[in-house]
Chain A
Amino acid sequence: MRIPAFFWFFTTITASVMANDIVLISGGPALRSHERFKTASHDKYWGNFIDSALARVGELQKGLGPGDRLTWLVFRPGYVTRGEEDKQDYFKLIEERGQKHGLVPIYFDNKEQLFTLLRRDGSPERPKISRLEYYGHSNKKCWMFDYSNRVDGGAIEPLVVHVDDLEKISGSSFTPNATCVSYGCHSGEEFSQRWRMVVGRPMVGAIGKTDYSDGGMPKLSEGKGGSWAY
């Protein structure tokens, strides 16, 4: 009789101590000097990936358990260069907007830093990830934090999470029932499947393009026959 009671007590205590983390990742915007003359011009507005991530916060906060927390990771270099181009201090705006939702951005400068931030062991300092959402540029093979920023129409290697890099993300950093979503374009065409194979957790991704132009949460581009896929 004493042993089941002990187990009940142990699991209850463990569950309350083992808090989880919801991670939101915001990629960087393109430069207008690269995009201005293109037919499909990206990022007329600098804050697409900031506003969309923050639009999701209210909804996610409702589902937070005791001790759970929200972490907002922002790709810093993209906002440095776009800020220089637009002559604006975007970090001030990012931090002000985060503050309204009780969030402080954690900046990362390259993919290695992101992998470090995603490395979790379940300790109170590094709780496991129960949900991960990505807002930024992507194609079927990559997340591109730096698309059309340093180089016109592309992204440089240290600032791209390619499917070949996914083995640097461990599935043990996630809770067993963790869900991941990529709100970038074309992620559902290959990246999601490779994520599930390598990281071992399902990822929802778009087949076709996603559209941030209306503000708030991105939606699938109309008229392209797009859908969401695991």
Chain B
Amino acid sequence: MGLLIPILLLLVSADFCFAPPLQPRQTTPASGAPSDSSSGSSFDSASTTKPVVSPDATEDEEIRQPVPEKVLRATLPAAHTPARHGDTSGPYWIGQRTMVEDYCGWGWLRTEKAGWSQARWVVIQYDPEICPVPHAFLPRPQDDMDYQYKLYGEFAPYRAYEPQADVWVDVFLIKGFVSLGPAKNPILREPPAHGSSKPNRFAERGANLR
């Protein structure tokens, strides 16, 4: 009996002394339920109730979940190239940006149906008012290395001279492009490397005194 009295007293007083159990707190207002900052009480009946999350919002969050590949792409500088620029009507070529050390040129160009083994090494000539080269939008020319584009324009009737390798290279006059994103693989073909000169027919004949 002597033990029962303190136990009963403890049970009765616990109801007055202990705080109510904590409920999960809503930190952001649910959609369509503006928060009331003036009320200031976090123990209101409204704030202690579980937040109601609509099934649509949950789906949205799942869709926007970034996959590592997308995160990587978004952080690449080439992500800042416009998806489409200039005049993108008419025939086009598929181009892959490739840079070769000590060799002038933009990269490889092929027709839609041809493979990369039939691609041509080109330099791109552009008018900034019509359409600049895609890497002009990027901090450095190498920032779109191994990116693919649909390039609109035509081949020039003249060639360009590559002074390091002493070769003539095709010139593509660009008027527009569509970005196709990074290529699966870099193109490892060597660009052309034939001599630029014809045989010197004056070597035996003597000087040109016409």
Give the complex CA separation of A151 and B198 in angstroms. 24
Q: Could you tell me if B163 and A171 are in contact, using CB atoms closer than 8 angstroms?
A: no
Give the complex CA separation of A160 and B196 in angstroms. 12
CB distance from A124 to the nearest CB of B (A): 22
Q: Report which of A152, A153, A200 forms a contact with B208, defined as CB distance below 8 A.
A: A200
Q: Could you tell me if A154 and B105 are in contact, using CB atoms closer than 8 angstroms?
A: yes
Q: Which residue of A lies closest to B136 (CB)?
A: A33
User: Which residues of B, 79-128, contact A by the 8 Å Cβ criterion?
Assistant: 103-106, 123-125
Q: Could you tell me if B208 and A198 are in contact, using CB atoms closer than 8 angstroms?
A: yes
| Contact pattern, A 153-190, Cβ under 8 Å of B = 1, otherwise 0 | 11111101011101101111000000000000000000
Contacts of B162 in A (CB 8 A): 153-154
Give the complex CA separation of A201 and B207 in angstroms. 8
B154 proximal to A (CB < 8 A): no
Give the complex CA separation of A172 and B103 in angstroms. 38
Contacts of B159 in A (CB 8 A): 156-157
Give the complex CA separation of A219 and B89 in angstroms. 50
Interface stretch (choices B53-61, B165-173, B177-185): B165-173
B21 proximal to A (CB < 8 A): no
CB distance from B178 to the nearest CB of A (A): 22
Interface stretch (choices A47-55, A57-65, A70-78, A140-148): A140-148
Contacts of A197 in B (CB 8 A): 200, 202-203, 207
Contacts of B164 in A (CB 8 A): 153
Q: Report which of A139, A141, A170 forms a contact with B209, defined as CB distance below 8 A.
A: A170
**Given that A144-B161, A157-B168, A163-B200 are known contacts, is A152 also in contact with B209, CB under 8 Å in the complex?**
no
Q: Could you tell me if B123 and A154 are in contact, using CB atoms closer than 8 angstroms?
A: yes
A6 proximal to B (CB < 8 A): no
Give the complex CA separation of A51 and B188 in angstroms. 43
Size bracket, chain A contacts: 35 or more
User: Which residues of A, 129-145, contact B by the 8 Å Cβ criterion?
Assistant: 139-142, 144
Q: Could you tell me if B125 and A172 are in contact, using CB atoms closer than 8 angstroms?
A: no
A150 proximal to B (CB < 8 A): yes
Q: Could you tell me if A166 and B208 are in contact, using CB atoms closer than 8 angstroms?
A: yes
Contacts of B123 in A (CB 8 A): 151-154
**Given that A151-B124, A152-B141, A163-B200 are known contacts, is A171 also in contact with B208, CB under 8 Å in the complex?**
yes
- Interface residues of A, dominant DSSP: mixed
A37 proximal to B (CB < 8 A): yes
CB distance from B109 to the nearest CB of A (A): 14
Contacts of A139 in B (CB 8 A): 163, 166
Q: Could you tell me if B208 and A155 are in contact, using CB atoms closer than 8 angstroms?
A: no
Q: Could you tell me if A164 and B125 are in contact, using CB atoms closer than 8 angstroms?
A: no
Q: Which residue of A lies closest to B163 (CB)?
A: A139
**Given that A153-B104, A154-B104 are known contacts, is A199 also in contact with B166, CB under 8 Å in the complex?**
no
Q: Which residue of B lies closest to A147 (CB)?
A: B163
| Contact pattern, B 129-167, Cβ under 8 Å of A = 1, otherwise 0 | 000000010001110000000000000101111111010
Contacts of A33 in B (CB 8 A): 136
B206 proximal to A (CB < 8 A): yes
Q: Could you tell me if A160 and B209 are in contact, using CB atoms closer than 8 angstroms?
A: no
Q: Could you tell me if A199 and B208 are in contact, using CB atoms closer than 8 angstroms?
A: yes
Give the complex CA separation of A167 and B202 in angstroms. 8
B189 proximal to A (CB < 8 A): no
Q: List 8 A-B contacts (CB under 8 A).
A: A33-B136, A153-B105, A156-B171, A162-B197, A163-B200, A170-B209, A198-B200, A200-B208
Residues of A near any B CB (own CB < 8 A): 33, 37, 139-142, 144, 147-148, 150-158, 160, 162-164, 166-167, 169-172, 194, 196-201
